[in-house]
Amino acid sequence: MENEPDKNLKQILVVEDEPAIAENIAFAVGTENMVPLVVATAGEAWEILKARPVDLMVLDVGLPDENGFDFCRRVRTISNVPIIFLTARQAEIDRIVGLELGADDYVTKPFSPRELTARIRAILRRSGTSVPAATTSEPEPLFLVDHSRKAISYEGQPLNLSRYEFRMLELMVRHPGQVFSRDQLMDHAWEEPDASYDRTVDTHIKTLRAKLRKINPKSDCLQTRRGWGYCLKECP
C-alpha cells in the first residue's frame, strides 16, 4: 500500500486540456496546501468523480471530448462537488451566469493563478471545508463575488444589492483600478441602456457607496474619476 494521502489536504480536480494552463493551476494549488488532480478530458474526470470524493473541481468549458456545460450537468446527477468554470469567451460567461448550471463560480482566461486559488479558498470556506493557510497566503480579498447566488460580500459581510448594483460592482471587482465611463457601466448593467439617463448610474453608485460604508464607514473603494467615470480602488 502506498502512503495514505493526507486527509486534511483538500483534493482539487483540475479538468483542463491545455498542458501549460493545467500545470500553472496545479502548481498554484500545490503551493496553497491543496492537492491537485489533473486530467485533460471529461471522461477521465468522470472516472475520478465516480471513484473517490474530491473537494472541488476546476472545469474548463472547452474540453476535447465533452462540452464543459454538458459535463457539469452530468456531474450534478451524481455529485454536489463545488465547480469553478474556466472560460475564455464572453458568450460562455453569459451562459454560466444566466443558466442554472450549478456552477459555483467562474474565472476567465487569462487569469492569475492567485485569483483562482483565492476563489477556490472562498468556495471551500463557504462550504465549510476550510483549508489550512499556507504560510505565503495572501490576505482575503475585500470583495467576494458569488455568481450562483448573485451576491457580493465586502469585508466578509454580505451586501444587499439590486440587480444593477450587482452587475456594476461585479464588473469593477473583476477589473480593479480600471476606470469605467457611465456609458460602459450602463451598457453592462442595463438591458436597455438607451432608456435611462447618465444620472441613473450616479444614483446607483451613490447607493452602492452607502452600502459599502454601512459595513466600513471609512470605505473609499468606490472612487469617482471626474470627467471619466468610476473605478474600484485597487485594494492592498
The stretch among 55-63, 124-132, 167-175, 178-186 that binds Ca ion (CB under 5 A) is: 55-63
**Sole binder of Ca ion in the list 32, 60, 104, 170 (CB under 5 A):** 60
Q: For 46-53, which contacts have Cβ atoms below 8 Å and span 24 or more sequence positions?
A: 46/71, 46/74, 46/75, 48/13, 49/13, 49/75, 49/78, 49/79, 49/81, 50/78, 52/11, 53/11, 53/81
C-beta nearest to Ca ion: residue: 62
Interface mask toward Ca ion for 129-148; x: CB under 5 A: --------------------
Q: Does 62 bind Ca ion (CB under 5 A)?
A: yes
Q: How many CB atoms lie within 10 A of CB 188?
A: 15
Cis? peptide before 176, omega within 30° of 0: no
| In the complex, least distance from residue 86 CB atom to Ca ion, rounded to whole angstroms | 8
Which cell is 10 given? 483538500
- Give the other-Cβ count within 10 Å of 77's Cβ: 6
Q: Smallest distance from the beta carbon of 71 to Ca ion, in angstroms?
A: 12
Check residue 17 for interaction with Ca ion (CB under 5 A): yes
Choices 6-14, 61-69, 94-102, 120-128; region in contact with Ca ion by CB under 5 A: 61-69
Binding residues (CB under 5 A) for Ca ion: these are: 17, 60, 62
